[in-house]
Chains A and B, each alone.
Chain A
Amino acid sequence: MGAKDSPPERWGIIEALLFVTPEPLPLERLAEVAGLTPLEVRAILADLRHAYGREGHAFAVEEAAGGFRLVTRPDYDPWVRKLQAVAPSPLSQAALETLAIVAYRQPVTRAEVEAVRGVAADRPLQTLLDRRLLKEAGRKQAPGRPILYVTTAEFLQHFGLKDLSALPPLGAAES
């Protein structure tokens, strides 16, 4: 280290923390570790986003599941996939509809999901549980004490949603 080295930039600290962390880092945690206020961190995150976009970086700052993380931009998807040899595993329409119902109505029972879709929901529910997009959350105080389902943090992260309020109001897209 020479004397001419400048001290680490504050944005560099935030960038470094995002770089090493796989899960979304909550704003408060970033602030705590960096020794900054949440407000300062938020400003730095905005700067980072701006800089990444302006300078054509491969990175983007994603806000999902209650925190921030560094992700590669969608444009680079083909190469990352090639490197990691992972195939995208899409969700069926049935699973997506089921997921939407749980996301908006949670906690819900299987019967409540079926009432909306008009068809059995066992299989899509199982798929979503297996993929950890849903989890069980106790039982409803109703006859038969049916299992209640809610969405998970993985759901938010997978779908790039910062929290449930990021879902558009139901029926908003109606024309």
Chain B
Amino acid sequence: MKLDVFEGPLDLLLHLIEEEELSVYDVPIARITAQFLSYLAELEELDLDWAGEFILLAATLLEIKARELLPRPKPEVEEEPEEDPRAALIQRLLEYKQFKTASGFLAEQLHTSSRQHGRPAVLPEPPGLPEDVTLRDLVAAFRVVLEGLVPDLPAEIAGEEVTIREAMLGLVQALAVRPSGLPFRAVFAKGASRLHMVVCFLALLELVRRGRVKVRQAEPFGEILLFLVGGSANGREG
């Protein structure tokens, strides 16, 4: 038997009384005291912080027991009635028992009520920034950019195009000075050729793949923002 299954000394006392099918009103204090003490004695380690309350009640029980055993001298004069520790203890027990019963009622109420579900009291949080903008989103956004493009300028001069590596470097530099994020559209300079844009897009994809660039969208169909991971332009070789 462990003491910590009881909610406190009154709970233990109540348990002993109920186990013996005794009435709270006329508990044989001597008998119940012996049992109470035997419970305490069974404790291997006495956690004084916790057992203090039990010991206090044990002392009260012993006091009542002693009073019952000792013959009481008849009062010679009408004294002021002394407080009867037995009556006080019974009063406390009855009071505790009432609240224990009430807690049983509450437990039942909770059991029933917790199985009934109403509408959630709080509306779910609005979705935050989705961490993962998918490749599909990026391609769709890129397509929008390309659609806004005038047909390739006829006088396109080969050889002036940037390489993907150069585009990556340029992008990292552009992102480094925009810690609050660079709009996706801003990556593609107006008037640039289709090929240039494709190179920039591939550069962006490569940076995302390497984890150098984070892509976020504040809301569905909203503007896609690009962020540099780590924040430094001169990190690993791009």
A: residues with CB less than 8 A from B are 19-23, 60, 62, 64, 69-74, 76-77, 80, 84, 88, 90-91, 93-94, 96-97, 99-101, 103-104, 116-120, 158-161, 167-168, 170-171, 173-174
Contact = CB atoms under 8 A, between A and B. Distances in A.
Given A22-B121, A117-B7, A170-B98, A100 B116 contact: no
Contacts of B120: 22
Contacts of B38: none
A100 B115 contact: no
B98 A97 contact: no
Contacts of B218: none
B101 A96 contact: no
Interface string B72-91: 00000000000000000000
Contacts of B105: 100, 167-168, 173
Interface in B180-216: none
A126 to B, nearest CB: 16
Nearest to B113: A160
Contacts of B9: 118-119
A160 B107 CA distance: 11
Given A69-B118, A70-B119, A119 B8 contact: yes
Nearest to B93: A118
A62 B112 CA distance: 11
Contacts of A167: 102, 105
Contacts of B95: 116
A99 B106 contact: yes
Of listed B97, B116, B121, residue having the most chain A CB within 10 A? B116
Contacts of A90: 110
A88 B106 contact: no
A100 B103 contact: yes
A159 B106 contact: yes
A117 B116 contact: no
A77 to B, nearest CB: 4
A115 B152 CA distance: 88
B96 A118 contact: yes
B7 A100 contact: no
B96 A158 contact: no
A167 B98 CA distance: 13
B10 interface: yes
B110 A158 contact: yes
Nearest to B13: A118
Given A70-B119, A72-B117, A74-B116, A168 B7 contact: no
Interface in B1-33: 7-11
B116 A97 contact: no
B7 A119 contact: yes
Interface in B90-147: 92, 95-107, 109-110, 112-122
A131 to B, nearest CB: 11
A97 B101 contact: no
Given A160-B116, A171-B98, A118 B106 contact: no
A73 B117 CA distance: 8
B55 to A, nearest CB: 12
A97 B7 contact: yes
B112 A96 contact: no
Contact of B110 (A60, A77, A159, A170): A159
A80 B117 contact: yes
B161 interface: no
Nearest to A102: B99
B57 interface: yes
B53 interface: yes
A96 B106 contact: yes
Contacts of B7: 93-94, 97, 117, 119
Contact of A159 (B99, B109, B115): B109
B114 A158 contact: yes
A174 B101 contact: yes
B112 A116 contact: no
